[in-house]
Amino acid sequence: MLAFQNQSSDLTLAQGISEYREYLKIKQYKIMNDGPNSRMILEHDAIHVIFGLDASIEQEILNDTWVLLACNWQWSYIKEYFQLDDIKELQIRLFKEIGLIRLILLYVRLLPKVFKIFHRARKMKNKWLYRFDEKYLQLPISFIRNDYGIEILNYEDIKIKNPLKWSGAKS
């Protein structure tokens, strides 16, 4: 379990993002970086940290669920994120290796966890701003979660029996 996956983590958001990116290196996942005048990857990584999720395919799906239900976002910005070369390449590799049917079955398998997210997102005080202010990077994750009313899934909730294995996220 990563430190930011603890509901009351005292890491700052910046420290949580650093821990998340170190985890990506250890798992040998491809590290994506923002281009000039862009924060899309940083903002995506921050959502992983704020909602306490790693980068397994299952937790990426749960992360997307948090984005849709618990974040303040705009279609144009999400569309722009999916136009990033690294993201397009990752999606192509995902569909080639896993296929649409297995991906749909994975979504179905995760429905009980998605429903937990749905209920927790409805209880939040405010939606997290996908495009957050820089000042949040210096705030403790626990403070942000408390301020927004975010109750992350605990480790047992996010643990996946027989996780899907795929090589597409590897460097």
What is the per-residue pLDDT across 35-50, written as a single tens digit (0 to 9) for each?
778 898 999 999 999 9
What is the per-residue pLDDT across 5-62, written as a single tens digit (0 to 9) for each?
999 999 999 999 999 999 999 988 878 888 778 898 999 999 999 999 998 889 999 9
d(CA 156, CA 135): 32
Is a pLDDT exceeding 70 seen at residue 94?
Answer: yes
Mean pLDDT on 60-73: 94
Is a pLDDT exceeding 90 seen at residue 134?
Answer: yes
Cβ(66)–Cβ(106) below 8 Å:
no
